[in-house]
Structure 1
Amino acid sequence: MSAKLETTSPDGAKVSINIHDRNEEKALINSKAVHVIDPAEAANSLGTFKEQEPAAQRIALRTYPRRWAVLAVVALLNCFNTMIWIAFSPISNHVSNFYGEKDSATYFSGIFIFVTIPVGLVAMWSGGRFGLRSSILVAAWANGIGAAIRLASSFLPDSLIHLRFPVGITGQGVAALAYPFIMFLPTKVAAVWFPDTERTLATTIGVMANPLGVLVANLVSPMLVESCEQLSVLNLLLSIPSISLTAFATFAITSSEPKIPPTVSASQKNYPFFRGIKECITNPQYWVLMFVMGGGIGMFNTLYTLMQQLLCPSGYSNMFSGTAAALLITGGVVGATGASIFVDRTKFYEETMKVSMGLAVVFGLAFLQFVLHVGMKPWLLVTCFIFGVFGLAAYPVGLQLSAECTFPVSETTSTGLVVISGQIQTIIYLALMRTLARPLQPLYRKNEVCTLVRAAAIELLKEPPQTCGHGTLSQAEQTVEPYDYTMAVIAMSVVATLAVLVLILVFRPKLRRLEVESGGIRLLDTTATDSKKEGAPEEADLEEMKPSHAAEEEEQNDQQGKEEEKPTNE
């Protein structure tokens, strides 16, 4: 019996040794002419050789505990900024008295919606150009400075009291500049700092801080402010956490991304801004998602804004309206959390999105029908809660889908266009609802409780007036007129039904980011020159994985070498 053993000499040359028996093999091993590797050591040395192309780029992956601190800053920014936005809405009469301007609360709230659209484009560009840290700091400082300016409007001397509203609305405008930066951050933070098993959950935590801020503002503002003089206390309590968070973010957020990425996709360079915009607007699946997701955001904002005006004509009190709104958001937190955990584990993005949106439309339409009838309190509360569960569950999943189907477009761009679409559709739907609303017919006025606001105002006006330096509002300015929203409800029902049908029948996304991470698509080349690193690849992206030219040449050389060795071995 003979066998051939190949080894390498000290000078690197290959040596073939013929072994005729077992004793000769043992003698060679004992003389250390050959090196024997333990099977376990050999397997460990090979690593994942069988699972990865030899020529493929190997990337180290790692997660850092610091990712939760980054996410906490973004979530708190979202919550505090939303509270500054919404806090005046439940106490509009006191706000108007304090600032001496009719509909002051409307101006303080509306400026956020209108600022988001133009500033949103700047926020998307700067996030990709200057990095995540710059976006967080811009948002934190804008929010903190805006809160401080609005606080200053509460303590102007009597000689400058006529400037109270201009100063206050200026501070509100500065704080509004932070909103578009904040709304685009959660998906970017999730993509850059979190592994794929936590991405949707991280996005949920970041975005659900927004409705949580709405809920807290609606609960706290009426409790703190019972007269216009107490508005200064509210401004103080809102400014303290915002200013403190500004300082914390400045020192806690030290980098835009971790040194070692958590996922393969996080290691890849994104497209530059205008290339990313082009990729989004030329992607039919993204258009569907942008229309449907933007519509969902717009309808949710419209429903929440008009909740009291929809319910009071049918005899439902302000307390009941507040309860319904609280259940809507509570259900949303529950649904979004559950959906994010499910999607992170299963990767069923498309299926979860379609089921959530479909059921949200069903229960949303049921809620809109119930608001037109009296005596439906239990049904209204149940449908409102379930609508929140499925409606807000679709939100973080949809944002992740926008990043998936447009990769390697920056998440700030793909998410930003969806949010801007939502703000535009909010304006359209609010205008549509108010245009189609008709004065309530005398036959149905026996049930309405909208004008009870006027009765309460009359009772308040019997007490010593609270001037706050400007005088009180007239009784007419305290009145909430009842309207019949039947036609508006029908119109919104048609729009919602069409949107969900388009989503179910047309939306067929390709999860490009997941394909990169699963190895089904060749990694983008980020090892070239510095100029190429800053931009995206200019050739066709995301090609099916195939050996590179260098790998092909190396394979050919190996084949030639084997052919040359055959005669000597023989």
Structure 2
Amino acid sequence: MNPLKTECTEKNEDAVSGSPLKVRVFKRRWLQLFLYALCSVCSSFQYPQFTIIGHIIIFRYYDVSILAVASTSIMLMVGYAVFLFPGLFLMERIGMKWTVVIGAAFTCLGAWIKVLSTAPDRFPVLLIGQGMVAISQVFIAPVPGKLAAFWFGKDQLALATAFGCYALHVGLTICFLTVPNFVRNHDDVAKIGIELSTIHWILAIACSIVTLAVLLFFQNEPSMPPSESRALQRYTHESFGKGFLVSLKMLVTKNRNFIILWNTYGLITGIFNSMPILLNPFFLTHFKNCEVDLGIINLLLCLLGTIGSIIIASILDKTKKFRVIAITVTTSSVLCEILFAGTLHLEIKWMVFVSISLFGIALISYSAIGFELCAEATYPESQALSTGILSISGQIYGAFVTPLLVKVIDVFGDTAAHVAIVVILSLGTLLTILDKIDLRRQRAEEHAARYEALSQGVSDKIDK
């Protein structure tokens, strides 16, 4: 008997019936997505926590170099790249629930260590706390694609992935909104320490609550698959499992489309990862003493970018025009960066706000689109493995691009840095155009639909 043809007795659920594969979409999928989002928010909040107030950290409180403060963000990229493969291997062994629990626990540990860093001579303690948060990213960042595939139906895959990815940007948004407004550049260093300590305590308590909630309520996978493609994937994996190393070799050596996508995603996402650090010199060079406004443009970059990107993800779910939408988004990123650079040099503040919002939509949209393209190009391999390897590209490129652009600003000025960003985004657009994505998951859904129609036709004939 086919193990996929199982019955489910659970009540009050949204069912997708009629398929010979017996798929079902559970209402509690939204709880799983919400819990993961909370975990991601707690982790991503700490990513630009110190670069956004770099002028205070550098010149007033810790008295360290610009590169030292930039390292609080760069180390998250480097840590992700170093620990990703052990993390993915562990994820395949222990399942999605315990992966997220470990990620939440490391985030919580890092937050509590930073509670101890509130003193001008304790910058190394702060770096240790950031190191714990960097490790947590290994267990959090690859999850959205896998969670969407495990819990959501085929008509909500891109939307669920988008919500999972954009939880990271919600954390960034909250950081940009709160930290610059709460931690001010006081003449009294002790007052800065009190405000930093308050932020650390609130964050540590919030992370503790989220970790407990994830431990108690987050689940690995429902009893029945939510889509035909997941049903076929689960059956294939259980029957013909190839193992972590074999799947890894298939992805990195024999899937040309995935390799091109890996570099494209790295170029586009690497620029986004560098923006929290670059916006400070970009903006304050043209608008002196506007630290609060700097927080606003970071907020607009993430918040409006996230809202617009969710709309694009919904369009992707309905149209399935993966390649067209990807090319449109990457091309838009180039045009929006040119607009952003131009408005900065014209020094018209409201136009800077508009241009950074459009730039955010283009950059953030590609994160979810890239995950969906990855799932299509690598099906039926594990989404955690494929999207984990994909997301490492953004960290690796970001770790190289960020210090490079900081150096360009120091030596040649912000105009040269904008030119470099345009070149990088243009290269990403060119690779997107050249990448002929093989929509394997879509074909699996179509084959399942044809099989369902054929089975229904045979059943009708038998009934007659």
TM range (shorter): 0.7 to 0.9
Kindly report which structure 2 residues correspond to 1:214-363, keeping only aligned pairs within 5 A, or say none.
214-226=172-184, 227-253=192-218, 255-267=219-231, 268-269=233-234, 270=237, 271-281=242-252, 282-315=254-287, 317-363=290-336
Q: How many angstroms apart in 1 are the aligned matches of 2:33 and 2:147?
A: 7
TM-aligned CA distance change 1:153 to 1:384, over 3 Å: closer
2:341 pairs with one of 368, 372, 377: 368
- Please tell me whether the aligned partners of residues 173 and 302 of structure 2 are also in contact (alpha carbons under 8 angstroms): yes
Of 127, 130, 148, which aligns to 1:172?
130
Q: Please point out which of 515, 525, 528 is paired with 2:443.
A: 515
C-alpha change, 1:89 and 1:129, in structure 2 (3 Å) is: same
- Residues 108, 393 of structure 1: CA spacing in aligned structure 2 closer, same or farther, 3 A cutoff? closer
Q: 1:416-431 residue pairs with structure 2 within 5 A?
A: 416-431=388-403
Residue type at the aligned position of 2:248: I
* Offset, 1:80: 0.7
Which residue does 2:23 correspond to in 1?
61
Which whole-Å deviations, capped at 9, do the CAs of 1:304-350 have from their partners, x for residues lacking one?
Answer: 32112123333463344333222222231122110111111222222
Deviations 1:192-214 (A, max 9, x none): 11111111111111111112211
- Tell me, in whole angstroms, the C-alpha distance in 1 between the residues paired with 2:446 and 2:207: 41
| Contact persistence 1:336–1:395 (CA under 8 A) | no
Correspondence for 2:406: 434
Residue equivalent to 1:471: none
Q: Closer, same or farther in 2 for the Cα pair 1:521/1:389, shift >3 Å?
A: same
How far apart, in 2, do the equivalents of 1:407 and 1:274 lie?
16
- Counterpart in 2 of 1:88? 50
Deviation, 1:383, is 2.0
2:169 paired with 1:211? yes
> 2:189 aligns to what?
none
Provide Cα deviations, 1:402-457, integer angstroms capped at 9, x if missing partner: 01111111111211122111111112222332333355xxxxxxxxxxxxxxxxxx
Q: Is the 8 A contact 1:82 1:213 kept in 2?
A: yes
Call closer, same or farther: CA 1:322–1:153 in 2, change over 3 Å: closer
Amino acid at match of 1:486: T
Q: Deviations over 1:358-386 (max 9, x none)?
A: 11221122223433x23333432222211
- Greater C-alpha radius of gyration: 1
Match of 2:146 in 1: 188
Q: Secondary structure at the match of 2:24?
A: coil
Match among 73, 88, 92 for residue 128 of structure 1? 92
Distance in 1 separating the partners of 2:55 and 2:338: 32
1:388 CA drift (Å):
1.6
Change in 2 beyond 3 A, CA 1:153/1:428: closer
Q: Where does structure 1 lack aligned partners over 5 or more consecutive residues?
A: 1-46, 53-57, 155-160, 440-482, 524-545, 548-570
**1:135 partner SS:** helix
Q: In the alignment, residue 286 of structure 1 is paired with which amino acid? A: F
Aligned residue type for 1:84: Q
**Bigger relative contact order, structure 1 or 2, given CA contacts below 8 A and separation 6+?**
2
Q: 2:37 aligns with which of 75, 97, 103?
A: 75
The amino acid that maps onto 1:221 is V
Structure 1 position 135, deviation (Å): 0.8
Query: Quick check: which one's helix share is greater?
Result: 2
CA distance in 1, matches of 2:427, 2:116: 48
Aligned equivalents of 1:98, 1:318: Cα separation in 2? 16
- Aligned to 1:60, the other structure's residue is in SS state coil
Which residue number in structure 2 is paired with residue 19 of structure 1? none
Match of 1:442 in 2: none
Give TM-score, length-normalised by structure 2: 0.83
Q: How does 1:402-551 map to 2 (within 5 A)?
A: 402-437=374-409, 439=411, 484-504=413-433, 506-519=434-447
Amino acid aligned to 1:257: E
Is the Cα–Cα contact under 8 Å of residues 326 and 369 in structure 2 kept in the other structure?
A: yes
Q: Contact 2:89 / 2:244 at 8 angstroms: preserved in 1? A: yes
For structure 2, the 5+ residue unaligned runs are 1-16, 185-191, 456-464
Q: Distance in 1 between matches of 2:130 and 2:291?
A: 26
> Aligned-pair distance for 1:74?
1.1
Change (3 A) 1:94 1:484: closer
Aligned partners of 1:147 and 1:243 also within 8 Å: no
- Change over 3 Å in CA distance of 1:110–1:390 after alignment to 2: closer
Query: Identity across aligned pairs (percent)?
Result: 25
Which SS does the other structure have where 2:444 is aligned?
helix
8 Å CA contact 2:228, 2:448 repeated in 1:
no
SS in 2 for 1:402: helix
Contact in 1 for aligned 2:329/2:365 (Cα 8 Å): yes
Give the structure-1-normalised TM-score.
0.68
Q: Is the 8 A contact 1:74 1:206 kept in 2?
A: yes
